[in-house]
Amino acid sequence: MKELLDVQELLLNKPDRSKGSLVDQIKSAAKRQNINLPDGWKAEVARRIVTHWSTTESDDMPREVLDKAEKLFKEIRKRFDGTAP
């Protein structure tokens, strides 16, 4: 992330983490630290998270994350199958 933003570190504090989604948390931290977020930063963060998750053992992943991922992929599959409302 720090290479992407060309800063030493983007630190999220407790108020940043209370903002809801990861995107909102990062925006809050960047604003507080006077960091301009470049175009494409959300896609790059998502790519890095997915890369990290793909190399993490499922036993090391929080159950909540796995449950949300399962729900997401079921919904995606429904849309491709044409069974979504």
Please give the chain's pLDDT, 85 residues, in tens: 555 555 568 889 999 999 999 999 999 999 999 988 889 889 988 888 888 888 988 888 889 988 988 998 899 898 898 765 6
pTM for the structure as a whole: 0.63
The CA distance from 78 to 85, in Å, is 9
Provide the residue count of the chain: 85
Whether the Cβ atoms of residue 45 and residue 26 lie closer than 8 Å to each other? yes
Question: Distance between CA atoms of 46 and 20, rounded to whole angstroms?
Answer: 16
Sign of the dihedral through C-alpha 25, 31, 33, 39: positive
Of 83, 13, 6, 15, residue with least CA distance to 41: 6
